[in-house]
């Protein structure tokens, strides 16, 4: 066993740091560091910078415009980018749709859509969940009926998707739709790419408890979708969804993001004073801080163990579930401790203080502004991407074999 990175890997880390120092716009890093809202343009700017360097699609093969990185390299990049306060890469096109197209898409689909993901020509969103189909995704009802008429071969889509993250920015949505009601529920689902500007698509914002417009409901009324937008075979869309679950494992534990959040928490705990001393030296607080730090240290290794195992073969579902559960619990504990660290100053909330240049509007210490809403917003981590309860079901199902 050897936990150290190789000399080449360390050289790669140095290269990543150099790149981040030279190319990550200070304006954007400052927004991330201080918990400001990122605009669509901010995300696009960062994606374009990464793409220009060839570093946008960590998990795609080189031939298709990806990095071809090893898991160790992907991990190093994730951590360094997070610690440098880079925005996270918006996952929908690059990390979710891309791998599915690469595995199941036709040559024509790959040639058309993959370069557009990289160039940012299309902003993608994910249309899986429905009001009645959350954890029980296979119960989804949004229908697509194949019609071949004078207007060509296409699907007519009717139904609703919900919780669609950043759907308000999207040009395209990849959806799981029902194409058959016969047999097993999973066997009547197809993977379909839908243009958000098609007649019959409408988007309604959902405001989350922090007051932000992050997710949406999307309604489809007789929306015509070219049959060429079907990915893989009809009624085999569930395979695409499952494939993503077992292959998209880098980043699921969010180690980089938690490391950055922990560093920030420590800064705040050192700046806050309790009984004349830094809060970080308060025995109760220090104990909580140490516990989450230990958990994160352990998670770094658990994460790398799982990733290293996945280099040759798909990662067993239960291991991915473990990363998801504990990774999100760690992140939530850090946001909770950061909230506690502020003491009474967790209460004021001035929305405009989260806009670029709004720091002077904050009440109390400038770092306090985003903390309470960040805590509330991150309750989502244990709900989406397969809730932590569902992940525990996955673990016990795999282990018990009952």
Ligand X SMILES: Cc1cc2nc3c(=O)[nH]c(=O)nc-3n(C[C@H](O)[C@H](O)[C@H](O)COP(=O)(O)OP(=O)(O)OC[C@H]3O[C@@H](n4cnc5c(N)ncnc54)[C@H](O)[C@@H]3O)c2cc1C
Residues making contact with another protein (CB under 8 A) = 129, 132, 134-136, 139, 162-163, 206-209, 211, 215, 272-276, 282, 284-285, 336, 339-340, 342-350, 363-364, 372-373, 375-376, 379-380, 382-384, 387-389, 392-393
Backbone dihedral angles phi then psi of residue 75, each to the nearest 5 degrees: -65, -45
**Closest CB to another protein among residues 120, 254:** 254
Tokens 């036709």, residue located: 106
Binders in 28-67 for ligand X, by CB under 6 A: none
User: CA 38: distance to chain centroid?
Assistant: 15
Q: Tell me the window of 194-202, 334-342, 348-356, 376-384 that interacts with ligand X (CB under 6 A).
A: 376-384
Q: What tokens does 50 get?
A: 């990464």
178 binds ligand X, rule: CB under 6 A? no
**Closest CB to another protein among residues 199, 283:** 283
Q: How far is the C-alpha of 79 from the C-alpha of 259, rounded, in Å?
A: 8
**Closest CB to ligand X among residues 65, 98:** 98
CB of 126 to another protein, least distance (A): 13
Residues ≥6 apart with Cβ < 8 Å to 227: 146, 148, 152, 153, 154, 155
CA distances (Å), origin 106, targets 98, 110, 264: 12, 6, 45
**Closest CB to ligand X among residues 361, 390:** 390
Task: State the number of CA atoms in the 13 A half-sphere of 39 facing the CB.
Answer: 7
CA distances (Å), origin 58, targets 66, 251, 344: 6, 11, 42
**Cα–Cα nearest to 216, from 168, 159, 160, 157:** 168
Q: Tell me the window of 65-73, 99-107, 162-170, 218-226 that interacts with ligand X (CB under 6 A).
A: 162-170
Q: Which of 128, 155, 191, 220 binds ligand X (CB under 6 A)?
A: 128
Q: What tokens does 166 get?
A: 């950043």
Under 8 Å between Cβ of 176 and 182: no
CA distances (Å), origin 337, targets 128, 166, 332, 342, 373: 33, 28, 9, 9, 13
Question: Mask of contacts with ligand X, 77-106, x by CB under 6 A?
Answer: ------------------------------
Under 8 Å between Cβ of 99 and 90: no
Q: Tell me the window of 46-54, 163-171, 289-297, 363-371 that interacts with ligand X (CB under 6 A).
A: 163-171
3-state secondary structure of 2: coil
CB of 163 to ligand X, least distance (A): 3
Q: Which of 21, 389, 397, 398 binds ligand X (CB under 6 A)?
A: 389
Tokens 């920030």, residue located: 264
Q: Which of 69, 124, 163, 375 binds ligand X (CB under 6 A)?
A: 163
**Closest CB to ligand X among residues 286, 390:** 390
Binder of residue 183, out of another protein, ligand X, none (CB less than 5 to 8 A by kind): none
393 binds ligand X, rule: CB under 6 A? yes
Which residues of this chain interact with ligand X, rule CB under 6 A? 126-129, 134-135, 163-165, 214-215, 380, 383-384, 387, 389-390, 393
């Amino acid at each position: 066993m050897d936990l150290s990175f190789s000399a080449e890997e360390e050289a790669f880390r140095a290269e990543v740091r150099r790149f981040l120092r030279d190319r990550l716009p200070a304006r954007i890093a400052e927004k991330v560091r201080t918990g400001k809202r990122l605009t669509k343009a901010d995300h696009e700017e960062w994606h374009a910078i990464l793409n220009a360097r060839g570093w946008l699609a960590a998990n795609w093969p080189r031939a298709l415009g990806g990095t071809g990185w090893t898991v160790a390299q992907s991990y190093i990049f994730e951590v360094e980018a997070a610690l440098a306060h880079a925005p996270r890469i918006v996952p929908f096109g690059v990390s979710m749709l891309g791998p599915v197209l690469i595995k199941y898409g036709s040559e024509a689909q790959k040639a058309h859509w993959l370069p557009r993901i990289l160039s940012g020509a299309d902003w993608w969103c994910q249309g899986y969940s429905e009001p009645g189909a959350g954890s029980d995704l296979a119960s989804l009802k949004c229908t697509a009926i194949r019609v071949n008429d004078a207007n060509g071969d296409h699907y007519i889509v009717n139904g609703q998707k919900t919780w669609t993250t950043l759907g308000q920015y999207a040009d395209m949505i990849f959806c799981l739709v029902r194409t058959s009601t016969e047999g097993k529920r999973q066997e009547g689902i197809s993977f379909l790419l839908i243009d958000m500007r098609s007649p019959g698509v409408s988007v309604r914002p959902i405001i989350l408890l922090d007051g932000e417009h992050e997710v949406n409901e999307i309604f489809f009324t007789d929306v015509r979708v070219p049959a060429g937008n079907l990915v893989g075979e009809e009624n085999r869309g569930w395979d695409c969804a499952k494939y993503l679950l077992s292959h998209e494992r880098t980043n699921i534990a969010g180690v980089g993001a938690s490391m950055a959040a922990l560093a920030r928490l420590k800064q705040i705990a050192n700046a806050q004073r309790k009984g004349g001393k830094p809060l970080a030296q308060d025995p109760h607080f220090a104990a909580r801080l140490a516990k989450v730090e230990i958990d994160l240290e352990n998670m770094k290794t658990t994460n790398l163990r799982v990733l290293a195992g996945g280099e040759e073969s798909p990662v067993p579902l239960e291991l991915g579930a473990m990363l998801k559960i504990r990774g999100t619990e760690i992140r939530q504990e850090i946001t909770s401790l950061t909230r506690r660290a502020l003491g009474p100053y967790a209460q004021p909330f001035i929305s405009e203080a989260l806009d670029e240049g709004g720091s002077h509007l904050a009440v109390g210490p400038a770092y306090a502004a985003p903390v309470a809403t960040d805590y509330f917003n991150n309750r989502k981590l244990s709900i989406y991407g397969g809730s932590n309860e569902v992940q525990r079901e996955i673990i016990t199902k795999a282990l018990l074999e009952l």
